[in-house]
C-alpha cells in the first residue's frame, strides 16, 4: 500500500491571509502529481498536474511546486477568499491514482 | 463536452442486498476508475477499467466488482451489502495515462440500513 500524506489535516485562515499545505509521496516510480479542489456537494475539480521535478504551476491566486527527488509538493493560496474554502486533495500516480486524505481549508470572512 | 455522469445519485439499501451503480465517462475517455469515500477517509481506490478490461484493483473484498462496456460506460456492483459500505462512490474518467487528469462525476451516495 502506497502512502500519500497531506498536512495539515485542516486549516482555518482569515480572508486575505496566504496559506500553503503539503503533499508527501514516494519518490520512486513517479509519473505525475495531481492537485484537486473538492467543494462541498460538488465533484473534485482538477487544479494542476505536474510531472517534472521543479515544476511550478499557477492558476490565479493558487500555485503549486513539485520536488520529485524528496517526494513533496506544496500548494500555495495567496490572499485567501471565502470561495477558496474546500478540501484540497493531492494524488500521486504510479500505475494508478493514490489520493491523500486532503487538507480542509476554511476561509473566515 | 458533457461531463461524467453517475446514476443513481442517492440510494438506500438494507444489509444483505446488492446494488449496481452506473458511470458514463466523458466522450472519448477509455478509462473509468471507481473510488469509495467514507467520513474521515480519503478516496479509496476500488478499481480501474480500460477498454473493457480491469487494469488495476484496490484492496477491497470480492463483494465489490465492476465491468466496462464497449461504449466505455462502467458499472460497479456490491453484493451482500454491509453497514460499512455506506459511502459516497465516485467514478472518474480519463484517457488512461497516469499524466492525464481524471475527471470526476457527482457521485452516488449509498446508505445501507
Each residue of A10-62: pLDDT tens digit?
999 999 999 999 999 998 888 899 999 999 889 999 999 999 988 999 999 99
Closest CA to A60 of A44, A37, A77: A77
Instruction: Give the integer Cα–Cα distance in Å for A68 and B48.
Output: 25
Instruction: Give the model confidence (pLDDT) of B58-81 as tens digits.
Output: 999 999 999 999 999 999 999 999
Closest CA to B23 of B89, B78, B112: B89
> What's the pLDDT at A17?
97
Cell of residue A105, nine digits: 481549508
**Considering chain B, what percentage of its residues have pLDDT values greater than 90?**
87
Mean pLDDT of chain A: 93
- Which residues in chain B have their CB less than 8 angstroms from residue A25's CB? none
Comparing CB atoms, the residue among B99, B101, B104 nearest residue A43 is: B104
DSSP A81: -
Q: Is the pLDDT of residue A94 over 90?
A: no
Instruction: Give the model confidence (pLDDT) of A65-75 as tens digits.
Output: 999 999 999 99
Task: Find the chain A residues whose C-beta atoms sit closer than 8 A to any C-beta of B.
Answer: 1, 31-32, 34, 36, 42-46, 49, 51, 89, 91, 93-102
Length of chain B measured in residues: 113
**Residue range A81-89: mean pLDDT, rounded:** 96
- Which residues in chain A have their CB less than 8 angstroms from residue B41's CB? 101
Q: Which of B43, B92, B108 to mutate to test the interface with A (most CBs of A within 10 A)?
A: B43
**Residue range B88-92: mean pLDDT, rounded:** 97
- Which residues in chain B have their CB less than 8 angstroms from residue A96's CB? 33, 45, 48, 56, 58, 98
> What's the pLDDT at A27?
83
pLDDT class of B40 with cuts at 50, 70, 90: confident
Q: Is the pLDDT of residue A82 over 70?
A: yes
Rg (CA), chain B: 13
Q: Is the pLDDT of residue B98 over 80?
A: no
- Which residues in chain A have their CB less than 8 angstroms from residue B90's CB? 43-44
pLDDT class of B41 with cuts at 50, 70, 90: confident
How close is the nearest chain A Cα to the Cα of B92, in Å? 10
**Residue range B83-101: mean pLDDT, rounded:** 92
> What's the pLDDT at A96?
82
**Residue range B10-18: mean pLDDT, rounded:** 97
> What's the pLDDT at A1?
62
Instruction: Give the integer Cα–Cα distance in Å for B28 and A20.
Output: 35
- Count Cβ–Cβ pairs < 8 Å, chain A vs chain B: 56
B 67-86 residues with CB < 8 A to A: none
Residue of A nearest to B59 (CA): A1
Amino acid at each position: 500500500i502506497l502512502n500519500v500524506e497531506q498536512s495539515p489535516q485542516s486549516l482555518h485562515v482569515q480572508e486575505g491571509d496566504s496559506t500553503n499545505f503539503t503533499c508527501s509521496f514516494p519518490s520512486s516510480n513517479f509519473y505525475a502529481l495531481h492537485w484537486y479542489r473538492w467543494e462541498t456537494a460538488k465533484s473534485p475539480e482538477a487544479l494542476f498536474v505536474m510531472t517534472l521535478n521543479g515544476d511550478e504551476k499557477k492558476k490565479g491566486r493558487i500555485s503549486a511546486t513539485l520536488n520529485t527527488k524528496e517526494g513533496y509538493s506544496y500548494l500555495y493560496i495567496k490572499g485567501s477568499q471565502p470561495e477558496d474554502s474546500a478540501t484540497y486533495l493531492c494524488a500521486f500516480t504510479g500505475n494508478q491514482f493514490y489520493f491523500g486524505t486532503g487538507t480542509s481549508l476554511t476561509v473566515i470572512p | 463536452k458533457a461531463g461524467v455522469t453517475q446514476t443513481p445519485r442517492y440510494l438506500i439499501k438494507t444489509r444483505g442486498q446488492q446494488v449496481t451503480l452506473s458511470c458514463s465517462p466523458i466522450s472519448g475517455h477509455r478509462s473509468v476508475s471507481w473510488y469509495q469515500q467514507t467520513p474521515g477517509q480519503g478516496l479509496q481506490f476500488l478499481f480501474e477499467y480500460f477498454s473493457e478490461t480491469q487494469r488495476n484493483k484496490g484492496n477491497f473484498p470480492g463483494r465489490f466488482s465492476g465491468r466496462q462496456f464497449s461504449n466505455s460506460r462502467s458499472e460497479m456492483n456490491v453484493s451482500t451489502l454491509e453497514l460499512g459500505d455506506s459511502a459516497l462512490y465516485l467514478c472518474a474518467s480519463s484517457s488512461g495515462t497516469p499524466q492525464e487528469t481524471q475527471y470526476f462525476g457527482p457521485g452516488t451516495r449509498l446508505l445501507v440500513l
